[in-house]
Amino acid sequence: MIGGWLHRQTGGEAIAVDGKTLRGSASQQRKAVHLLSALVHKEGVVAAQCAVDTKSNEITAFRPLLDPLDLTDTVVTADAMHAQVDHARYLVEEKQADYLFTVKGNQPTLLADLTALEESDFFPSVCRARTRTRSR
């Protein structure tokens, strides 16, 4: 897969997962084509891409999209649709990656829990130490 090769060439330290519907791809006989892509942030290279089944959504395409990629020590960003426990576990436990998901009102309990956190609840010293380790 050329996307995987490109991902390895760029180092792929941050990957954005995002879906787009292709304008003009719909007809009277079929729905518009919707693609889910994994894009390397820095280089803007598409590392992986798959069509989202017309009877499904991006949530079910997330894992198959990322399965072929080596995401070890990569940060995966995604919009609020992907703020799913299963996606977070998959990235951390199976792919040894980190994640940054947008959280909006579609997950009101999670949004309330995050809003209630104090700045001291975060561990920036751990993040800085990990960043120093990666840069060596």
| Confidence (pTM) | 0.76
Q: What's the confidence (pLDDT) of residue 60?
A: 94
pLDDT digits (tens, 9 = 90+) for 21-47: 988 888 888 888 999 999 998 888 899
Nearest to 131 by CA among 75, 87, 78, 79: 75
Question: What CA–CA distances, in Å, run from 24 to 29, 31, 133?
Answer: 13, 10, 47
Q: What's the confidence (pLDDT) of residue 134?
A: 46
pLDDT digits (tens, 9 = 90+) for 7-28: 565 565 899 999 999 888 888 8
Q: What's the confidence (pLDDT) of residue 124?
A: 53
Nearest to 96 by CA among 77, 75, 79, 125: 75
Report residue 15: phi and psi, to 5°.
-125, 130
